[in-house]
């Protein structure tokens, strides 16, 4: 059985009507997803085949989906919100569009640092943000910590996304959580002084810029590099890059998650919870690892062969909900540092 994939429509009322018409059926679940359809659809297909529960999918920008859920209020057809980065999950929690749920399956499968203490959101995959450098242009012996990238020796050598990117905001929030806003601001100012160019583009663009000689170091999530290594159109650029795992002698490398939460007014709450639990089953975690090249949240599931090439690393064990708590302060720190 295949589920119907519904694209994000401008006419919100039309999709709302479609969902409310379908809401009479007990064997369905309505998903708002900020993840691209191709990164989630096959997994939802399998869930439908195994359970008989039809998945109605709407994809779109994370912040727009959260705003939409808030606008829809009690009339929202959404059962489950899927998105990337704990910062967005925290926004959804703060805006009251998610509800806490309890599940022994979720608690046993997901480490406590990767889920909300109140059960409002749960991490489904882990993504790491290390230092990527051009082989032959950077001596890895010179690399040590993420904080060291603020040293003037790296002037004109770093490419990274803009400050409005949630990945960077969460990274700065992690520094605030560990060392305070003053230390984070000093680091951010030093990093900005070392930019090779004004921030532009996404993570893949930083990797491509480094490979093209614009900079020597790129800050990006590992799954982007892994995806490029398996894409014939981008393999040449990706092959020039190497991974360095920073902060292995102290906090560990900064990590984040993709995750999900049950909608506050979910009309199919039980099915939403079933889908959420399914996504941390070994089968689903293996799929995430092999197809999307993300790290499983389960310790008993192997990582992909591509990620194996990057080597093992010590991850920061900071409870990720703190990244959301310090998001606003992180934005202010980046603004003061001139990170645009």
CATH topology of domain 5-126+257-310: D-Maltodextrin-Binding Protein; domain 2 (3.40.190)
Mean pLDDT for 63-69 is: 97
d(CA 216, CA 196): 9
Q: How many C-beta neighbours within 10 Å does residue 86 have? A: 30
Helix (H) or strand (E) holding 327: helix 327-336
Q: Percentage of the chain surpassing pLDDT 70?
A: 92
DSSP state of 291: I
User: Does the structure show a pLDDT above 90 at 157?
Assistant: yes
The DSSP string of 31-100 is EEE-S-GGGTHHHHHHHHHHH--EEEEEE--HHHHHHHHHHHGGG----EEEEESHHHHHHHHHTT-EE-
pLDDT band at 6 (very low <50, low <70, confident <90, very high): very low
d(CA 188, CA 166): 15
Q: How many C-beta neighbours within 10 Å does residue 333 have? A: 26
**3 state SS of 106:** helix
pLDDT at 332 (0 to 100): 98
User: Does the structure show a pLDDT above 90 at 335?
Assistant: yes
Nearest to 15 by CA among 80, 63, 74, 75: 75
Phi, psi of 6, deg, nearest 5 = -110, 120
Mean pLDDT for 55-82 is: 97
pLDDT band at 24 (very low <50, low <70, confident <90, very high): very low
User: Does the structure show a pLDDT above 60 at 26?
Assistant: no
Which segments of the chain belong to CATH 3.40.190.10? 5-126+257-310, 128-254+313-336
Mean pLDDT across the chain:
92
pLDDT in tens, 268-285: 999 999 999 999 999 999
Phi, psi of 189, deg, nearest 5 = -65, -40
d(CA 155, CA 125): 34
User: Does the structure show a pLDDT above 60 at 117?
Assistant: yes
User: Does the structure show a pLDDT above 80 at 302?
Assistant: yes
User: Does the structure show a pLDDT above 90 at 20?
Assistant: no
User: Does the structure show a pLDDT above 60 at 221?
Assistant: yes
User: Does the structure show a pLDDT above 50 at 23?
Assistant: no
Q: Percentage of the chain surpassing pLDDT 90?
A: 90
**3 state SS of 7:** strand
User: Does the structure show a pLDDT above 70 at 87?
Assistant: yes
User: Does the structure show a pLDDT above 50 at 16?
Assistant: no
Task: Let me know: does 290 contact 99? Beta carbons within 8 Å.
Answer: no
d(CA 330, CA 171): 9
Helix, strand, coil tally for the chain in percent (to 5): 45, 15, 35
CATH 3.40.190.10, domain 128-254+313-336, yes or no? yes
pLDDT in tens, 233-254: 999 999 999 999 999 999 999 9
């Amino acid at each position: 059985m295949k589920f119907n994939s519904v694209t994000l429509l401008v006419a919100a009322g039309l999709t709302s009507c479609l969902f409310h018409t379908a809401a009479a059926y007990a064997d369905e679940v309505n998903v708002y997803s900020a993840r691209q359809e191709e990164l989630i659809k096959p997994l939802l297909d399998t869930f439908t085949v195994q359970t008989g529960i039809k998945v109605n999918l709407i994809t779109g920008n994370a912040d727009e989906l959260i705003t939409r859920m808030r606008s829809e209020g009690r009339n929202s057809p959404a059962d489950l919100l899927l998105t990337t980065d704990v910062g967005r999950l925290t926004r959804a929690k703060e805006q009251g569009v998610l509800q806490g749920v309890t599940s022994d399956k979720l608690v046993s499968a997901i480490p406590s640092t990767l889920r909300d203490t109140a059960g409002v959101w749960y991490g489904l995959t882990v993504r790491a943000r290390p230092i990527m450098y051009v082989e032959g242009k950077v001596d890895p012996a010179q690399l040590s910590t993420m904080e060291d990238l603020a040293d003037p020796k790296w002037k004109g050598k770093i490419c990274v996304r803009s400050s409005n990117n949630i990945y960077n905001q969460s990274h700065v929030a992690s520094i605030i959580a560990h060392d305070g806003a003053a230390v984070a601001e000093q680091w951010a100012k030093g990093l900005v002084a070392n930019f090779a160019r004004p921030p532009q583009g996404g993570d893949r663009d930083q990797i491509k810029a480094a490979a093209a000689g614009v900079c020597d170091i790129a800050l990006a999530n590992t799954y982007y590099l892994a995806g490029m290594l398996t894409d014939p159109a981008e393999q040449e650029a990706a092959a020039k890059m190497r991974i360095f795992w920073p902060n292995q002698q102290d906090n560990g490398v900064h990590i984040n998650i993709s995750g999900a939460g049950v909608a506050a007014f979910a009309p199919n709450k039980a099915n939403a919870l079933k889908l959420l639990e399914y996504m941390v089953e070994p089968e689903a975690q293996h799929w995430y690892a092999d197809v999307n090249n993300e790290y499983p949240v389960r310790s008993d599931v192997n990582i992909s062969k591509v990620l194996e090439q990057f080597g093992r690393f010590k991850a920061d064990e900071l409870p990720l909900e703190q990244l959301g708590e310090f998001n606003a302060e992180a934005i202010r720190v980046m603004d003061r540092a001139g990170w645009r």
